[in-house]
Amino acid sequence: MKLIFIFLATIGSCSLANAQSTRVLFIGNSYTGVNDLPEMTRQLALSMGETLTVASSTPGGYTFQQHTTNATTQNLIDQGAWDFVVLQEQSQLPSFPPSQVASECLPYAQALVDTIRAHSPCAEPVFYMTWGRENGDAQNCASWPPVCTYEGMQQQLRQSYLQMAEDNSAACAPAGMAWKRVRTEFPAINLYSSDGSHPTVAGTYLVACTMYSTFFRTSTVGASFTSSLDAATALTLQQVASSVVMDSLETWNIGVNDPEALPEHQDQGNGSVFFSENSVNAMAHYWNLGDGSTSTESSFTHTYAANGTYTVTYVATDDCGRTDTSVFTVNMTAAGIGELDKPLVSVTSDAQGLVVINAGSAGNLVLFDLQGRRVSVHPIGATAKEQVPLPSGTAMVWRFQTAGGRVGSGLVVIP
């Protein structure tokens, strides 16, 4: 028999939080405490069908360094069993010169993450990127000109928070970037209180939406909880937060600790196939070989008894129960070349992103970066033409799978 490899696609998703109850600890200061961000996030999640248990330590003006020795903060961390721990630094410190951030911020961010993981090995630390002050930081402008404007301060905050996330294999909740988009596109929505620093209810609601999308990797659009905001304003903030998070999961390091299912196979001849996992962060393995046989081995040889097309499903699971699933189809045939059973879909590009024309069955368009990491999933209707916005200059590998299992793939570059 000759083994024909048809297609490999990651179709599963990593389960980061228990849908029944998710425990979230917020560590920060007044930017977290004003308008009670933890409670607002809890109520928002509840309206979306998720139950959060929240706790917080938010003394005014606190830094990460102070939190490393604060009894309340440490006692909450010591409780353990947290699913997410949100970390918010003093509002100005991450915008200071890199040398000052390196000495006064980064070591204490790492210390907090290390302590969190010691007590909650499966917790996902989430660095809460804050926003620049409405008119820049006048207090520190003379000594550090980049913070003289809102734009300059925001850029410094972005760089520092992303560095903290990357250095600690943690996620970043990009509230500051959602804030920037609202300032640019919806200036009538006031996010700042009278001091030009702390959030209004609208500002805190925007952050809560950002947190929800960071935790659960799904949109908040349609959430029935709107706090004290009118429905139109709440909807706008939901759309902005969801878009900023969901369009750039990799940029924000969201999913950095996920298992990645990366199975391999090799034709041994005479109907035998050698299967092996080459997965990331995977501690347990499950294979459904498509002929009624299963295995939990990391590598093994399997012999198919008859010619035919077999759909193999491989599930990688990490120590925390998060999973990722890959499916590939093999065609066992005595001779000849199996043909790729592609759906009737065309994926091209224009200046706005991808143009998807589907002349067949509905399915999911999965986008991967050039390193093979999944970026996003987009449902595509049957016999539909749809636009998927992507930044100019982006190169993506796409894979489309219908509900009936037909698949197709390709590479596209956004001009």
> Looking at the domain assignment, is residue 340 inside a domain?
no
- Of 318, 281, 312, 280, residue with least CA distance to 295: 312
Query: What is the CATH classification number for the domain harbouring 401?
Result: 2.60.40
| Domain's final residue, options 195, 218, 246 | 246
pLDDT tens for 250-276 read 999 999 999 999 999 888 888 889 999
Our CA dihedral for 15, 129, 414, 362, rounded to 10 degrees, sits at: 30
What does the pLDDT look like over 266-308, one tens digit per residue? 888 888 899 999 899 999 999 999 999 999 999 999 999 888 8
Residues 6+ apart with CB under 8 A from 251: 162, 174
What are all long-range contacts of 142-147, with beta carbons under 8 Å and residues at least 24 apart? 144/95, 144/96, 144/97, 146/95, 147/92, 147/95, 147/96
344: pLDDT strictly greater than 80: no
| Rounded distance between C-alpha atoms, residue 72 and residue 90, angstroms | 17
Residue 252 lies in a domain: no
Question: Is residue 339 in some structural domain?
Answer: no
> Mean pLDDT over residues 202-223, rounded?
97
> Do 111 and 80 share a structural domain?
yes
User: Does one domain contain both 265 and 231?
Assistant: no
Q: Give dist(CA 56, CA 24) in Å, integer.
A: 9
> Does 320 fall in a domain?
yes
Helix/strand/coil for 172:
strand
Q: Is the pLDDT of residue 309 over 80?
A: yes
Residue 391 tokens read as 């930044």
- Lowest-confidence range among 12-26, 83-97, 168-182? 12-26
Q: What is the pLDDT of residue 20?
A: 65
Domain boundary among 287, 307, 333: 333
User: Is residue 85 located within the same domain as residue 216?
Assistant: yes
Instruction: Decide if 409 is inside a domain.
Output: yes
DSSP, collapsed to helix, strand or coil, labels residue 276 as: strand
pLDDT category at 404 given cuts 50, 70, 90 is: low
Same domain flag for 183 and 76: yes
Instruction: Note whether 89 and 106 are same-domain residues.
Output: yes
Which is higher by pLDDT, 37 or 368? 37
Measured between alpha carbons, how far is 13 from 31 in angstroms, rounded to an integer? 32
For residue 257 the two structure tokens come to 């600790």
Structural domain contains residue 281: yes
Residue 159 domain-assigned? Answer: yes
Q: pLDDT by residue (tens digit) across 53-93? A: 999 999 999 999 999 999 999 999 999 999 999 999 999 99
Residue 10's pLDDT band, with cuts at 50, 70 and 90, is very low
Say what the pLDDT of residue 105 is: 98
Q: Which domain holds residue 354?
A: 345-413
- Confidence tier at 17 by pLDDT (50, 70, 90): very low
- Domain end point (choices 188, 215, 246): 246
Say if residue 143 is in the same domain as residue 51.
Answer: yes
> Smallest Cα–Cα separation from 128: which of 80, 92, 165, 102?
165
Could you tell me if 291 and 281 are in contact, meaning their C-beta atoms sit under 8 angstroms apart? no
47 and 78 Cβ atoms separated by less than 8 Å: no
Percent of the chain predicted with pLDDT > 90: 69
Compute the mean pLDDT over every residue in the chain, rounded to the nearest whole number: 89
Per-residue pLDDT for 310 more than 80? yes
Q: In this structure, is residue 223 part of a structural domain?
A: yes
- My answer on whether 114 and 130 are in the same domain is yes
- Reading the block at residue 260, the tokens are 């990645």
The mean pLDDT of 377-397, rounded to a whole number, is: 81
Tally of structural domains, the chain = 3
pLDDT at position 270 is 82
Shared domain for 43 and 108, answered yes or no, is: yes
